[in-house]
C-alpha cells in the first residue's frame, strides 16, 4: 500500500517543491512562500492556520482525547552563496537531481512530511493526531518561527523534525552557548613597561578554554566542545591595553544545561563572562521512547547530531530525520535527488505506521 500510494504522492510533492523553489524565502522574508503553502491547502480543502509566516494543519479527524504527533520542517532558506553557477530559483531536474536553493535544506524533508500528512489526513482510526507545520526563521533561530506557535499547537506528544539526514534518525542534538568575555588589565605606556597587559590575562583564560575537558560525556554527542573564535584588544602599538575581548563558541551535550556550563566557566576564569543567548538548548529523546523503538525495528540508523535545528527550541520530545544530505546544505548549486523524496515519504509512513502499531499494542 505504501509503495503504490507514495508514487503519485511523490510526483505531486516534487511538483510542489519545484513551485516553492521559484519563490524566494530568505529567513524573515518568507511571506510569499507562506502564501503559496496556504493556497496549496485551500485547493485541497484542508483548513490551514497561520501565524506570521508559519502554516500548520491538522488531520481531518483530530481529537483532543488523543496524543498528537507534530511533523515539522522549515520553509525558509539562507541566501545563495557566490559559488552558484545556476539560477538558484530555477528548479531544473538533470540526471535525477532537482536543483534549486533550499531543495535539500529543507525542501525535500518539508514536502516529504507534507506528503506523509496527506497520506494519513483522511484516516478516521488513527491512534494519534497528526499536525503538519511549515515554519519560518529556522536558519536564523528566529523568535517568529516555531517558537512563536508553541502554545498555538497545543499539547504535543512527539515531534518529528524534517532535516536532510539521509533518513537516519538523530536522537540527540548539540546545544549552543556563545559567550563574550573581557579580560581586564591596566593601561600603560609600552616603552616604560607600565600597566598590566589585558592580552596576557586573556591568554591564561584562553588556555583554560583550550585545554579544559567537561567531565560528563554523552553516548550520542560526546564531550562538550569549546572554541575561542574571536579576539580583539588594543588601540595603539605603544599602549598596553586595559581590556581584551574574546568570544567563545560552546557546543553542549545533553548532560549540561546552559546554566551549569556558565557556572563552571565562571568558577575557573578571571575574565568577565556574558552569555549572548541560552535559547539553543541540547536535546535528547529516551532510547526507550516508542519512536526510537520503531526506528530500531525498521533498521534506521541512530546518531547524535552536531548541528542544530528547531529541535533546540521545542519543549517536547523530538527526533530529526529526513531525505537529503546535510553535506549539500548551503552549498552552491544545491540539489536533492528526486528519488529521495519518494523514499522520504515511504520512510516517514513506515516509521509512523510502526509507531502507531506499537502505540496501539501498549494501550490495549
What is the 3-state secondary structure of the chain? CHHHHHHHHHHHHHHHHHHHHCCCCECCCCHHHHHHHHHHHHHCCCCEEEECCEEEEECCCCCCCCCEEEEEEECCECCCCCCCCCCCCCCCEECCEEECCCHHHHHHHHHHHHHHHHHHCCCCCCCCEEEEEEECCHHHCCCCCHHHHHHHHCCCCEEEECCCECCCEEEEECEEEEEEEEEECECEECCCCCCECHHHHHHHHHHHHHHCCCCCCECCCECCEEEEEEEEECCCCCEECCEEEEEEEEEECCCCCHHHHHHHHHCCCCCEEEEEECCCCCEECCCCCHHHHHHHHCCCCEEEECCCCHHHHCCCCEEECCCCEHHHCCCCCCEEEHHHHHHHHHHHHHHHHHHHHHHHHHHC
Q: Rounded to the nearest 5 degrees, what angle is found at the Cα of 116, between the Cα atoms of 51 and 9?
A: 110
Residue 361: pLDDT band with limits 50, 70, 90: low
- Contact (Cβ atoms closer than 8 angstroms) between residue 240 and residue 188: yes
Residue 5: pLDDT band with limits 50, 70, 90: low
Question: Tell me, what's the pLDDT at 358?
Answer: 81
> What average pLDDT is seen over the chain?
95
The grid coordinates of residue 329 equal 546544505
DSSP 166-192: TT-EEEEE-EEEEEEEEEE-B-EETTT
Identify the H or E element spanning 7: helix 2-21
Region 206-232 average pLDDT: 97
Is 99 a residue whose pLDDT tops 80? Answer: yes
Residue 213: pLDDT band with limits 50, 70, 90: very high
Is 2 a residue whose pLDDT tops 50? Answer: no
What is the per-residue pLDDT across 143-162, written as a single tens digit (0 to 9) for each?
999 999 999 999 999 999 99
CATH fold for the domain made of 2-172+283-363: Aminopeptidase (3.40.630)
Is 363 a residue whose pLDDT tops 90? Answer: no
Residues of the chain with CATH 3.30.70.360: 175-277
- Contact (Cβ atoms closer than 8 angstroms) between residue 287 and residue 181: no
How far apart are the C-alpha atoms of 18 and 233, rounded to whole Å? 49
What share of the chain has pLDDT > 70, as a percent? 97
How far apart are the C-alpha atoms of 339 and 343, rounded to whole Å? 6
What is the per-residue pLDDT across 236-269, written as a single tens digit (0 to 9) for each?
999 999 999 999 999 999 999 999 999 999 999 9
How far apart are the C-alpha atoms of 107 and 162, rounded to whole Å? 9
Q: Report which of 21, 296, 310, 20 is spatially closest to residue 138, judged by C-alpha positions.
A: 310
- Dihedral sign (CA 165, 310, 229, 255): negative
Region 283-308 average pLDDT: 94
- CATH annotation of 175-277: 3.30.70.360
Question: Tell me, what's the pLDDT at 277?
Answer: 85
Enter the pTM of the model.
0.90
What share of the chain has pLDDT > 90, as a percent? 91
Question: Tell me, what's the pLDDT at 339?
Answer: 97
Residues of the chain with CATH 3.40.630.10: 2-172+283-363
How far apart are the C-alpha atoms of 89 and 103, rounded to whole Å? 10
Residue 222: pLDDT band with limits 50, 70, 90: very high
Amino acid at each position: 500500500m505504501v509503495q503504490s500510494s507514495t508514487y503519485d504522492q511523490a510526483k505531486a510533492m516534487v511538483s510542489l517543491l519545484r513551485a516553492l523553489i521559484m519563490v524566494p524565502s530568505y529567513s524573515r522574508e518568507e511571506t510569499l512562500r507562506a502564501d503559496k503553502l496556504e493556497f496549496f491547502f485551500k485547493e485541497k480543502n484542508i483548513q490551514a492556520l497561520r501565524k506570521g509566516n508559519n502554516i500548520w494543519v491538522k488531520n481531518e479527524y483530530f481529537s483532543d482525547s488523543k496524543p498528537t504527533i507534530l511533523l515539522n520542517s522549515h520553509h525558509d532558506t539562507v541566501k545563495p552563496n557566490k559559488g552558484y553557477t545556476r539560477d538558484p530559483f530555477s528548479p531544473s531536474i538533470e540526471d535525477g537531481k532537482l536543483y534549486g536553493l533550499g531543495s535539500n535544506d529543507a525542501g525535500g524533508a518539508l514536502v516529504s512530511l507534507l506528503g506523509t500528512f496527506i497520506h494519513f489526513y483522511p484516516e478516521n482510526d488513527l491512534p494519534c493526531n497528526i499536525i503538519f507545520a511549515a515554519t519560518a526563521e529556522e536558519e536564523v533561530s528566529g523568535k517568529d518561527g516555531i517558537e512563536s506557535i508553541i502554545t498555538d499547537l497545543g499539547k504535543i506528544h512527539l515531534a518529528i523534525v524534517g532535516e536532510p539526514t539521509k533518513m537516519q534518525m538523530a536522537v540527540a542534538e548539540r546545544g549552543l552557548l556563545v559567550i563574550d568575555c573581557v579580560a581586564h588589565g591596566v593601561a600603560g605606556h609600552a616603552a616604560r613597561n607600565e600597566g598590566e597587559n589585558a592580552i596576557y590575562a586573556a591568554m591564561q583564560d584562553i588556555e583554560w578554554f583550550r585545554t579544559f575537558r567537561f567531565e560528563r560525556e554523552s553516548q550520542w554527542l560526546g564531550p562538550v566542545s569549546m572554541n575561542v573564535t574571536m579576539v580583539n584588544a588594543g588601540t595603539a602599538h605603544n599602549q598596553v591595553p586595559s581590556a581584551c575581548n574574546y568570544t567563545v563558541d560552546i557546543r553542549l551535550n545533553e548532560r549540561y544545561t546552559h546554566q551549569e556550563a556558565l557556572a563552571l566557566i565562571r568558577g575557573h576564569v578571571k575574565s568577565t563572562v556574558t552569555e549572548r543567548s541560552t535559547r539553543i538548548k541540547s536535546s535528547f529523546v529516551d532510547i526507550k521512547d516508542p519512536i526510537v523503538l520503531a526506528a530500531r525495528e525498521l533498521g534506521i540508523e541512530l546518531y547524535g547530531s552536531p548541528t542544530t535545528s528547531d529541535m533546540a527550541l521545542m519543549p517536547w520530545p523530538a527526533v530529526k530525520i529526513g531525505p537529503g544530505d546535510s553535506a549539500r546544505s548551503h552549498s552552491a548549486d544545491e540539489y536533492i535527488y528526486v528519488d529521495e523524496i519518494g523514499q522520504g515519504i515511504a520512510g516517514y509512513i513506515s516509521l509512523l505506521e510502526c509507531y502507531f502499531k506499537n502505540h496501539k499494542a501498549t494501550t490495549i
